[in-house]
Amino acid sequence: MSSIEIKDNDGIQWLTLNRPDQMNALTVESLVELGEIFDAASTDDNVRCLVITGNGRAFCSGADVEEWAQAEASGTLETYGWTEAAHLTMTKLASIPKPVVAMINGAAVGAGLDLALCCDFRYASDKAKFKAGYTTMAYSPDAGSSWHLPRIIGLEQAKIFLFYDEAWTANKALDVGMITGLFEASDLKTKVEEFASHLSTGPTFAYGKIKSLLDSGTQNNFLAQLQQEKEAGLLCGRTEDGKEAIKASIEKRKPKFVGK
């Protein structure tokens, strides 16, 4: 049985982490599989939005502790490849030039939370829990949370979350801005489908350029960023969606974007 289920529906690719008995913990193998899926989705014109969720009571519990313990016992903890696989996969996820939504159905811990933080939007069930999980294991962040958390929730809240390592409820996560929205468990999938459907019918190329500009904006000065905006705008204007947007505006109707 594959550790990730894939379902495509009207431009939305649903990825479900499928190791419920292990709370969808990430092994080296499952990380590699995820990375390959992200590569394919990035270049597949039929995929215009991705949704990542988990099967069972957890979204993702982070690194597979059994695999970690086996590596420790065999003396290969520093070389068995989990960190390298996680870094490559998280980089691929963060770089997908299309909207990515995390549908957090349950516990998101450690690298499982990092997986969600790499997504553009995070919608959670009211039953979801959030935990760093690192200092409890006498460890420091290893899959991107030290980069994402200060940018998403601020430096002080990131320190509180990481140092104290207490589980946050979905309401707490919403209050500090860690998640985009919060719904009752019974409504979560329906609500996420609505958001994903909106994104999957939008100007996909422009979404990709927006993601790229937001990433580069923290590194550029204002003039450099304006130049990148100009270059991105020229490319957007040459797309089918760009031409359709102008035509629809003139005809006073809603544009029908094709994602190209």
pLDDT per 10-residue tile (average), the chain, 260 residues:
91 97 94 97 97 97 83 72 93 97 97 97 97 90 93 97 96 98 97 97 97 93 95 96 94 95
Residue 101 confidence (pLDDT): 98
Q: Starting at the edge strand that comes first in sequence, how are the strands of the sheet with 107-109 ordered? A: 58-60, 107-109, 129-131, 168-169
Determine the pLDDT at residue 64. Answer: 84
| Residues comprising the chain, all counted | 260
Q: What are phi and psi of 8, to 5 degrees?
A: -110, 130
Predicted TM-score (pTM) of the model is 0.94
Helices (H) and strands (E) in the chain, counts: 11, 10
What are the two backbone dihedrals, phi and then psi, of residue 100, each rounded to the nearest 5 degrees?
-130, 130
Q: Are 9 and 197 in contact (CB under 8 A)?
A: no
How many other C-beta atoms are found inside a 10 Å radius of the C-beta of residue 174? Answer: 18
Q: What is the pLDDT of residue 80?
A: 67
Alpha-carbon distance of 146 to 126, in angstroms, equals: 25
Between CA 152 and CA 162 the distance in angstroms is 14
Do 155 and 115 meet the contact criterion of CB atoms below 8 Å apart?
A: no
Q: Which residues pair with 122 in a beta bridge?
A: 102
39 Cβ contact list (under 8 Å, min separation 6): 92
pLDDT for 74: 77
Could you tell me which residues are beta bridge partners of residue 12?
Answer: 9, 49
pLDDT at 1: 64
Token pair 């459907």: residue? 197
